[in-house]
Structure 1
Amino acid sequence: MDRTLVLQLQPTHEQAKHLQQTVQEHTACFNAVADEGFTSGCCNGIELHKRTYYDLRAQYPHLPAQLVCAARVKATEAVKSALDRLKKGRKASAPRSRLCPIRYDQRSYWVKWNSHTCSLATVEGRVHLSFTVPKHAQKYIGGKVCSADLCSRKGTYTLHVVVHLPDPLVLSSDDVIGVDLGLNHPAVTSHRHFLGERRWKEQELRLFRLRRKLQAKGTKSAKRHLRKLSGKLFRQRKDHDHVLSKRIVEHATAGSTIVLENLTHIRSRARLRKGEGQRRLHSWSFAQFHSFLSYKAQEKGIEVVKVDPRHTSQTCSRCGHQARNNRRSQSLFLCRACGLSVHADLNAARNIREKHLASLGTSLAGGSQSDGLSSQVI
């Protein structure tokens, strides 16, 4: 399995100047290749290399050839994505970056864990830097070093190093946990765990109202405040997704299976009126949450799978009766056929679990599925 360690670089003033110049020239190469590829409609890396490499080497003679090639590779990926958007009839423009991260390979950098030093290729040759490792990532020190990305933000430099580690040896388990994701209850498991904090919704709403108020005001001080708030909502959601995925993994046994709904294209399928519900749906970071959950589960040997989400909220988890009016409200599920009364999200989590078991040709063994609302675990 692969893990990414974010190393905090500690360059001297002179080294910081070399890194800054290297990132700027690498970004200029990226933008030049991206313009060429988007204008001509070409996303073939070999062809773009022939068209741009020698001109860029002549224009930036001090930039190492490996970094020029790295800029071309990143630009090719960006151009391909932009052209795919055009083919689907969506708006797209030529990819452009202000500070494009540099992707280093084993020929252009190295890391020594024992001395906490690294070497990076720059416009002034090799630069040797010291770094620090975050406390939570120190358990990954010593793994096989793969590629790395040098990122620059507000004058600070971080090296995102990909480390390859052996997969954990965990015996598989028959335990299957269905997880229903939602906007009101972030996650509800089939084991009757209601995960997430109610204050998260209010935090996002408070920040949205503040940003809207500042944007309407439009004064210089309001714009300064908006710059200060830049990225805060993104960081909040990232923290929430980390906490939520960690709690789900903690409630799962090693070797078990976690089943989620496949929410791809949910924004185009859902029918919501304009307002808070639509805004929250379009800002829902379910893809980021899935990626966090997947890599956290991998360490415990837990498999994460997705199932079709259709009718999971309308079907009774006890008798299988499906009807729209089974769901009386956002939180109450009351089956018209058998009278099952249960929290709607808990019912959906059980249906998600059953869908996966049905795809394996097995059925739920033992235990009653009908827990009343009075026995919820919140």
Structure 2
Amino acid sequence: MNSAVRVSLNTTPQHAQRLVDLQAAFAAVCNALAPLVQQTRCWNRVALHHMAYKQLRQQFPELGSQMVCNAIYSVSRACRVVYQHPQSPFNLSRLGDKPLPRLQFLPQSPVYFDRHTLSIKDGQVSMYTLDGRMRFQINLAPGDEDRFRNEKLREIVLAGKGGSFQLSFLFAQATGDEADDGDTAHPRGAAAELPEYVVVLPDDTFTPPPSMPRTANASLSP
């Protein structure tokens, strides 16, 4: 059985703009955290949380505590692919003692949710945005409804581009697959390709696109 359920969202222009704003804010937090990863060579989710959470909350109060935690998870996840995937050109074994390249998350980067920031009840999704909760009606097949009741969700991801948005619900495998804790070499099932929403910068140069909030250019000190 496919481990993921994907649902397209029927958005109005106003809905779409709120989701675009959420994507940009989420990417801004990721970009504020990326220099710390580069400096410390640490991308373990728990360790990053201890090092950066308090400062990120102060720097991005509008995003909320749980979404900051989800952004830390997103950075940890992307770094495991870029720095640890055996086929990545930026794998640590290839870099050796050279400085790590820095990751730049694009404004349309996916947003990760959890049970605190997104819920489903009676065929309706309630999801966090910068301007309060937003709700969508969704149509689930009977088999998918059973999965939400009986299986463990591993990831909830919002992806969107050009005003079209989709939620992906990734379930734990029957073999006991659980949510990544930041210690695995790379996410289970991750492809060899680098994430399309991440740009790998060879040095400290960071030039945000015009549509990216200026706060994305901020950095953290360990």
TM-score (norm 2): 0.63
> Superposition pairs for residues 136-147 of structure 1, below 5 Å?
139-144=143-148, 146=153, 147=155
Q: 1:164 to 1:111 in 2, by over 3 A?
A: farther
CA distance in 2, matches of 1:17, 1:166: 37
CA RMSD of aligned residues (A): 2.9
Q: Find the counterpart in structure 2 of residue 107 from structure 1.
A: 116
> Superposition pairs for residues 7-18 of structure 1, below 5 Å?
7-18=7-18
SS at match of 2:20: helix
Q: CA deviation at 1:86?
A: 4.2
SS at match of 2:104: coil
Q: Find the counterpart in structure 1 of residue 94 from structure 2.
A: 89
Q: Find the counterpart in structure 1 of residue 6 from structure 2.
A: 6
Greater helix share, structure number? 1
Q: Find the counterpart in structure 2 of residue 173 from structure 1.
A: none
CA distance in 2, matches of 1:104, 1:2: 20
Q: CA deviation at 1:69?
A: 0.5
CA distance in 1, matches of 2:55, 2:173: 40
Residue type of the alignment partner of 1:140 = D
Q: Find the counterpart in structure 1 of residue 30 from structure 2.
A: 30
Aligned residues of 1:41 and 1:83 also touching (Cα < 8 A): no
Aligned residues of 1:18 and 1:124 also touching (Cα < 8 A): yes
Residue type of the alignment partner of 1:118 = V
Q: Find the counterpart in structure 2 of residue 366 from structure 1.
A: none
CA distance in 2, matches of 1:109, 1:128: 10
User: Are 2:172 and 1:159 aligned?
Assistant: no
Residues 193-243 of structure 1, C-alpha deviations (whole Å, 9 max, x = no match): xxxxxxxxxxxxxxxxxxxxxxxxxxxxxxxxxxxxxxxxxxxxxxxxxxx
CA distance in 2, matches of 1:47, 1:166: 29
Residue type of the alignment partner of 1:26 = F
CA distance in 2, matches of 1:138, 1:80: 35
> Superposition pairs for residues 1-378 of structure 1, below 5 Å?
3-84=3-84, 85-90=90-95, 93-98=101-106, 99-112=108-121, 114=122, 116-132=123-139, 139-144=143-148, 146=153, 147-163=155-171
Aligned residues of 2:42 and 2:48 also touching (Cα < 8 A): yes
Residue type of the alignment partner of 1:131 = I
For structure 1, which segment, 70-79 or 123-132, has the greater mean C-alpha deviation from structure 2 after superposition?
Answer: 123-132
Residue type of the alignment partner of 1:142 = D
Residue type of the alignment partner of 2:79 = V
Q: CA deviation at 1:55?
A: 2.4
Q: 1:142 to 1:37 in 2, by over 3 A?
A: same
Residue type of the alignment partner of 1:5 = V
Unaligned segments of structure 1, at least 5 residues: 168-286, 289-378
Q: CA deviation at 1:163?
A: 4.7
Larger radius of gyration: 1
Q: Sequence identity, in percent?
A: 23
Q: 1:42 to 1:3 in 2, by over 3 A?
A: closer
CA distance in 1, matches of 2:156, 2:76: 18
Residue type of the alignment partner of 1:57 = R
Q: CA deviation at 1:25?
A: 0.7
Residues 271-318 of structure 1, C-alpha deviations (whole Å, 9 max, x = no match): xxxxxxxxxxxxxxxx97xxxxxxxxxxxxxxxxxxxxxxxxxxxxxx
Unaligned segments of structure 2, at least 5 residues: 85-89, 176-189, 192-222
Q: CA deviation at 1:66?
A: 0.9
Aligned residues of 2:13 and 2:163 also touching (Cα < 8 A): no
**Paired positions, count:** 164
Structure with bigger RCO (C-alpha 8 Å, 6+ apart): 2
CA distance in 1, matches of 2:166, 2:79: 26
Aligned residues of 1:117 and 1:130 also touching (Cα < 8 A): yes
Residue type of the alignment partner of 1:102 = V
TM-score (norm 1): 0.39
Residue type of the alignment partner of 2:63 = L
Residue type of the alignment partner of 2:26 = H
Aligned residues of 1:7 and 1:159 also touching (Cα < 8 A): yes
